C-alpha cells in the first residue's frame, strides 16, 4: 500500500492548494476540486478497507462488500468527472452539439448499471490472500467506459479548443496515453496497487498546467484576468446565457500614480477590486485594463441598477490607505448580452466603444451601450475585417485614372486608386476604409501592397515606352511616419526596376498640416532621390500657404468640391481663378480634379490649370483597361 499512501500525501497537498490558495470561482475549477476530493476520498477509503481486510482476512472481506463497492463507485466516478471537466474547459455547451448530451449520458448510464449490479452481486472484485481484494474480469465494461471517456474528452477538446490552447492539449494527450498504459500494466501486475498514485500525479500536472491560479487571476488585484474574461464570456455566449457587464474605467488614474506613487496606486486598485468582489455575489469581477474593471452580473435589470448605485455611492467617498486619502471618480458603462452583442468579438468591441464614448462625455458618466450608435461600430468592425481579408487574400485591386496634360494634349500620368470588393459590404470607397485602416494600423501593409502593385504594373507594361511619365500614388501620413519608410520604397522600386522619376507621391493637405515636421525629413530624402510630390485635395481643409514653402511639392491638386463650386457660385469662381494665379506665381503646377463637362475643361484650361482629371476624360479603370487606353491614344 506504499503507492496508496504516496497518493494520499499528493492529494492532500493538492487539496490544500485548491482550498486555501486563491480560488477562482468558475465552473471548471469547481469540477476540478470535486475530482480531487472524490479521488482523495477514494484513496482514504481504499487504505481503510485494505488495512482491515489485510489484518482480519477473509472474514473482514465477506463483511465489507458494500464498502468495497463504494470504492469502485468513487474510483470510476472520477473518470466521469474528468470527462465533464474537459468538456467544460472547451467553453462549449453540449446542448448545442448535434447529439446533445447523449455522448456523455451513455457512459454515465453504463457506469450506473455496473455499479448498482456490483452492490448486488460483487462481480467487480475477488479476495486475494496477499493483496486483499482485486479487480476481476468483470471490470472490463467499466474499463471500457474509462477508455471511452478519455477518448471522447481528447477528441472533443481537439475539435473545440482554440489554437492558443494547443500546448495544453498536447499535455492532455500525453497524460491520456500514459494513464492508458498504466491501466494495462496494472491489470498485469496485481501485487502492487499504483493506479491511484498515477491518478494523483496526473491531477497535479493538470493543476499546474490548466488550473494554476496565477494564469487565471490578475497578479496585482487577484480578480479574474483578461484572458479569463474571454474564456468565460465565450462559454456563456455559447450556452445562450444572458448577462450584463458593468465596466468601470477609473478617471485619470495615471494622476494617482504620478502624485502618490505606483505603490499607492496598486493599493487603490486592490481596494476597488475587493469592493467589486464584495458586491458581486451574483457575478464575476475581471481586471480588464490597467485602470479598468468589469463586473459580470447574471440577473435582471433591477439587480444591474442596484449594483450601479452601490458603485456610484462608494466612489463618492475617499479610498484610504495608511498614507493618503484619495478621491477617485469612475466612468461606468453597461453592456448587455445578447442585446448589445451576441459574439465575443462584437461584445468586446461594444465595451471598448462604450468606454471611449463615455470618456468623451466627461468624468463620472454612466453610459448604456443600448443608447449608443452601435450600428456604426459594427459597420466599422466589418470594414476592418474586409480590409484584413483583402490584404491576407491579396484581393486588393489598383485602378488607374488617367490625367490629361493640357500643354501636350495627351495623357502623361495617372492616379492609382485602391479598390476593395467585399462579399457582404460590396464595393468599399477609399474615403470609407482608408481612415479606418489608418486608425488600426493596417494602412502600413495596405500602402506597401498598393505601392508594389503600382511598381509591378509600371514594369510589366513598360510605361517608359508610352507617354505616361509617372504614376501618382496616394501615401498615408501614418505610413510616411514609419521608420524605414524610405528604404522600403527604394527596395520595392529596385525589385521591379522602376526609376524614381516614374513615381509621384500624393500627400493630403490635412496630413501635411498636422504632421509637417515629422514628414519633412522623409519627403526631403525621397525628393533628393528624384521622386515627385503632389499636395492632394488642396482647398478642402484649413491649410495656410506657409507649409507649401517648406515642403517640396511640385504639383498642387485642387479638390473637386472647390472646382465644382466655382461653376455654381460666382465668388467661388473668382477664388479659384486667383488661387490658380497665386500658385502659378509660386512656380507650382496645378491639377484640377473632378472635371466632368466640356465647360469645365475649357474654363479650367483657360485660367492656367496644367493637368485635368475626371470623368470627362475617363473614370478609374483596371490596369488592363488603362493599358489599352494609353496604347490606343498613343
- 621-622 and 611-612 beta bridge pairing: unpaired
Model pLDDT for residues 336-349, shown as the tens digit of each residue: 988 888 888 888 88
Burial (CB < 10 A; 0-12, 13-18, 19+), residue 539, is buried
pLDDT tens column, 295-322 = 999 877 888 888 889 998 898 888 887 6
- Predicted confidence band of residue 595 (pLDDT cuts 50, 70, 90): very high
Using 50, 70 and 90 to split pLDDT, how confident is the model at 413? very high
Reported confidence tier of residue 542, pLDDT bands at 50, 70, 90: very low
Residues of the chain with CATH 3.20.20.450: 381-633
Tell me the per-residue pLDDT of 21-37, one tens digit each, with 9 for 90 and over: 777 767 888 899 999 99
Domain with CATH 1.20.1070 in the chain: 2-212
Q: Which CATH class is domain 381-633?
A: alpha beta
Return the pLDDT at 620. Answer: 93
How many residues would you count in the chain? Answer: 634
3-state DSSP of 189-216:
CCCCCCHHHHHHHHHHHHHHHHCCHHHH
Neighbours of 519 (CB within 10 A): 20
The CATH number of the domain covering residues in 2-212: 1.20.1070
CATH number of 217-372: 3.30.70.270
pLDDT of the residue at 57? 73
Q: What is the model's pLDDT at position 226?
A: 86
H helices, E strands: number in the chain: 26, 19
Range list of β-strands (E), 3-146: 125-128, 132-135
Q: Beta strand 319-320 with 621-622: parallel, antiparallel or unpaired?
A: unpaired
pLDDT of residue 140: 87
Give the least confident one: 206-210, 235-239, 265-269.
235-239
* Residue 576 grid coordinates: 479659384
**How many other CB atoms are found less than 10 A from the CB of residue 345?**
12
Least confident of 51-60, 196-205, 277-286, 569-578: 51-60
Structure confidence at residue 280 (pLDDT): 73
Q: Where in the chain are all domains bearing CATH 3.30.70.270?
A: 217-372
Report in angstroms the alpha-carbon separations of 55 from 48, 49, 62, 64, 468. 11, 10, 13, 13, 103
Q: Which regions of 146-273 does DSSP assign to beta strands (E)?
A: 243-250
Confidence of residue 514 (pLDDT cuts 50, 70, 90): low
For the whole model, what pTM was predicted? Answer: 0.56
Amino acid at each position: 500500500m506504499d503507492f496508496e499512501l504516496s497518493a494520499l500525501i499528493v492529494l492532500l497537498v493538492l487539496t490544500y492548494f485548491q482550498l486555501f490558495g486563491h480560488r477562482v470561482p468558475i465552473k471548471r475549477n469547481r469540477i476540478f476540486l470535486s475530482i480531487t476530493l472524490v479521488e482523495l476520498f477514494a484513496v482514504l477509503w481504499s487504505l481503510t478497507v485494505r488495512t482491515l481486510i489485510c489484518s482480519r482476512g477473509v472474514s473482514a472481506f465477506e463483511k465489507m462488500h458494500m464498502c468495497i463497492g463504494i470504492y469502485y463507485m468513487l474510483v470510476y466516478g472520477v473518470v466521469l468527472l474528468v470527462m465533464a471537466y474537459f468538456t467544460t474547459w472547451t467553453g462549449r455547451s453540449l446542448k448545442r452539439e448535434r447529439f446533445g448530451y447523449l455522448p456523455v449520458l451513455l457512459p454515465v448510464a453504463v457506469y450506473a448499471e455496473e455499479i448498482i449490479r456490483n452492490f448486488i452481486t460483487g462481480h467487480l472484485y475477488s479476495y486475494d490472500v496477499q493483496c486483499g481484494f482485486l479487480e476481476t474480469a468483470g471490470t472490463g465494461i467499466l474499463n471500457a467506459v474509462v477508455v471511452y471517456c478519455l477518448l471522447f474528452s481528447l477528441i472533443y477538446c481537439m475539435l473545440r479548443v482554440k489554437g492558443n490552447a494547443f500546448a495544453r492539449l498536447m499535455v492532455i494527450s500525453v497524460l491520456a496515453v500514459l494513464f492508458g498504459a498504466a491501466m494495462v500494466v496494472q491489470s498485469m501486475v496485481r501485487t502492487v496497487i499504483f493506479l491511484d498514485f498515477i491518478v494523483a500525479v496526473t491531477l497535479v500536472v493538470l493543476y499546474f498546467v490548466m488550473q494554476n491560479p496565477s494564469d487565471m487571476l490578475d497578479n496585482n488585484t487577484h480578480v479574474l484576468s483578461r484572458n479569463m474574461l474571454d474564456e468565460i464570456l465565450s462559454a456563456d455566449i455559447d450556452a445562450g446565457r444572458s448577462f450584463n457587464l458593468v465596466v468601470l474605467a477609473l478617471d485619470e488614474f495615471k494622476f494617482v500614480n504620478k502624485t502618490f506613487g505606483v505603490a499607492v496606486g496598486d493599493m487603490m486598485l486592490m481596494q476597488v477590486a475587493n469592493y467589486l468582489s464584495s458586491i458581486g455575489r451574483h457575478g464575476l469581477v475581471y481586471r480588464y485594463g490597467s485602470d479598468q474593471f468589469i463586473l459580470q452580473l447574471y440577473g435582471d435589470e433591477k439587480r444591474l441598477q442596484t449594483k450601479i448605485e452601490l458603485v456610484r455611492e462608494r466612489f463618492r467617498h475617499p479610498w484610504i490607505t495608511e498614507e493618503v486619502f484619495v478621491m477617485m471618480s469612475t466612468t461606468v458603462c453597461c453592456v448587455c448580452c445578447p442585446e448589445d452583442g451576441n459574439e465575443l468579438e462584437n461584445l468586446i468591441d461594444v465595451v471598448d466603444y462604450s468606454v471611449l464614448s463615455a470618456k468623451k462625455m466627461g468624468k463620472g458618466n454612466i453610459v448604456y451601450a443600448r443608447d449608443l450608435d452601435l450600428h456604426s461600430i459594427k459597420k466599422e468592425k466589418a470594414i476592418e475585417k474586409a480590409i484584413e481579408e483583402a490584404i491576407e487574400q491579396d484581393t486588393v485591386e489598383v485602378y488607374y485614372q488617367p490625367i490629361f496634360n493640357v500643354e501636350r494634349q495627351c495623357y502623361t500620368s495617372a492616379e492609382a486608386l485602391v479598390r476593395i470588393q467585399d462579399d457582404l459590404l460590396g464595393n468599399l470607397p477609399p474615403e470609407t476604409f482608408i481612415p479606418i485602416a489608418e486608425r488600426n494600423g493596417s494602412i502600413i501593409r495596405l500602402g506597401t501592397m498598393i505601392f508594389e502593385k503600382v511598381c509591378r504594373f509600371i514594369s510589366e507594361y513598360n510605361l517608359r515606352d508610352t507617354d505616361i511619365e509617372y504614376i501618382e500614388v496616394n501615401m498615408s501620413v501614418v505610413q510616411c511616419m514609419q521608420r524605414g519608410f524610405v528604404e522600403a520604397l527604394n527596395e520595392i522600386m529596385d525589385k521591379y526596376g522602376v526609376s524614381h522619376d516614374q513615381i509621384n507621391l500624393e500627400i493630403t493637405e490635412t496630413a501635411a498640416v498636422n504632421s509637417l515636421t515629422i514628414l519633412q525629413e522623409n519627403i526631403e530624402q525621397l525628393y533628393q532621390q528624384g521622386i515627385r510630390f503632389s499636395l492632394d485635395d488642396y482647398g478642402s481643409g484649413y491649410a495656410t500657404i506657409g507649409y507649401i514653402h517648406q515642403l517640396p511639392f511640385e504639383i498642387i491638386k485642387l479638390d473637386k468640391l472647390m472646382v465644382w463650386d466655382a461653376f455654381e457660385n460666382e465668388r467661388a469662381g473668382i477664388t479659384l481663378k486667383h488661387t490658380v494665379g497665386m500658385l502659378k506665381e509660386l512656380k507650382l503646377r496645378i491639377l484640377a480634379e473632378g472635371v466632368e463637362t466640356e465647360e469645365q475643361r475649357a474654363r479650367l484650361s483657360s485660367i492656367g490649370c496644367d493637368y485635368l482629371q475626371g470623368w470627362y476624360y475617363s473614370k478609374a479603370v483596371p490596369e488592363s483597361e488603362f493599358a489599352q487606353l494609353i496604347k490606343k491614344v498613343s
